[in-house]
Homo-oligomer: A and B are copies of this chain.
Amino acid sequence: MSGFPSCPLPLEEYPTITMAHGGGGAIMRRLIERMFFAAFDRGELAGGPDAAVLALAGGELALTTDAFVVSPRFFPGGDIGSLSVHGTVNDLAMVGAEPIALAVAFVLEEGLPTQELWSIVSSMAAAAEECGVRIVTGDTKVVERGHGDGVFVATTGVGRVVSRWPVHPERIRPGDVVLVSGDVGRHGMAVLVARGNLGIASDLESDSAAVHPAALALLREGIEVRAMRDPTRGGLASALNELAAAARVGFEIRETDVPVDPRTAAIAELAGLDPLYSACEGRFLAVVPQEQSERALAVLRQHPVSAGAALIGTATADAPRVVVRTAFGTRRLLPLLSGEQLPRIC
Closest to A21 in B: B339
Q: For the complex, what is the distance from the CA of A63 to the CA of B101, rounded to whole Å?
A: 9
A69 and B26 form a contact (CB under 8 A): no
Q: Which residues in B have their C-beta under 8 angstroms from that of A232? A: 24
- Contact across chains for B136 and A63 when beta carbons are under 8 A apart: yes
Docked Cα-Cα span, A58 to B61, in Å, equals 10
Pairwise interchain contact B137-A338, C-beta atoms closer than 8 A: no
Chain A interface: which size bin? 35 or more
Contact flags A86-124 to B (C-beta < 8 A → 1, else 0): 000001101101000101111100000000000000000
Quick check: is A226 within 8 A (CB to CB) of the other chain? no
Known: A146-B146, A154-B154. A51 touches B64 (CB 8 A): yes
Q: Are B107 and A69 in contact (CB under 8 A)?
A: yes
CB distance from A15 to the nearest CB of B (A): 16
> Closest approach, in angstroms, between the C-beta of A240 and any C-beta of chain B?
12
Which of B24, B60, B65 is the one whose CB lies under 8 Å from A137?
Answer: B65
Determine the chain B residues whose CB is within 8 A of the CB of A57 once the complex forms: 58
Q: Does A269 contact B (CB under 8 A)?
A: no
Tell whether A242 is near chain B: CB-to-CB under 8 Å. yes
A23 CB–B CB distance under 8 Å: yes
Q: Which of A262-303 contact B (CB under 8 A)?
A: 279
Cβ of A247 to closest chain B Cβ, rounded Å? 9
Using CB atoms, name the residue of chain B closest to A150.
Answer: B147
**Counting CB contacts under 8 A, is A220 at the interface?**
no
Pairwise interchain contact A56-B58, C-beta atoms closer than 8 A: yes
> Are B48 and A246 neighbours in the complex by a CB distance under 8 Å?
yes
Tell me whether B25 and A238 are in contact (CB under 8 A).
Answer: yes
Give CA–CA (A256, B297) in the complex, Å: 72
Interface 1/0 per residue, A28-58 and B, CB below 8 Å: 1100000000000000000111111111111
Contact A340 B69 (CB under 8 A): no
Q: What residues of chain B lie closer than 8 Å to A29, measured between beta carbons?
A: 242, 336
- Residue A9 at the chain B interface, CB threshold 8 Å: no
Q: Which of A58, A62, A105, A143 has the most CB of B within 10 A?
A: A105
A67 contact from B52, B61, B139, Cβ within 8 A: B139
Cβ-based interface call for A304 (8 A):
no
With the chains together, A168 CA to B20 CA distance in Å?
A: 27
Scan residues 228-253 of chain A and give those whose CB is less than 8 A from a CB of chain B: 229-230, 232-234, 238, 242-243, 245-246
Query: Do B49 and A95 touch across chains, with their CB atoms under 8 A apart?
Result: yes
CB proximity of A225 to chain B, nearest CB, Å: 13
What B residues does A63 contact at CB under 8 A? 51-54, 101, 103, 136-137, 156, 158
A selection of 18 A-B contacts at a CB cut-off of 8 Å is: A22-B233, A24-B279, A24-B340, A29-B242, A49-B91, A51-B97, A52-B63, A53-B166, A58-B59, A61-B61, A63-B103, A105-B156, A139-B154, A141-B152, A144-B344, A147-B148, A148-B148, A154-B156
- Known A27-B338, A58-B58, A65-B137; 5 more pairs at CB < 8 Å: A26-B336, A49-B169, A53-B61, A107-B107, A142-B343
Counting from the closest, the 10 A-B pairs by CB-CB distance are A58-B58, A24-B233, A23-B340, A20-B339, A24-B234, A154-B154, A51-B64, A65-B103, A156-B156, A67-B105
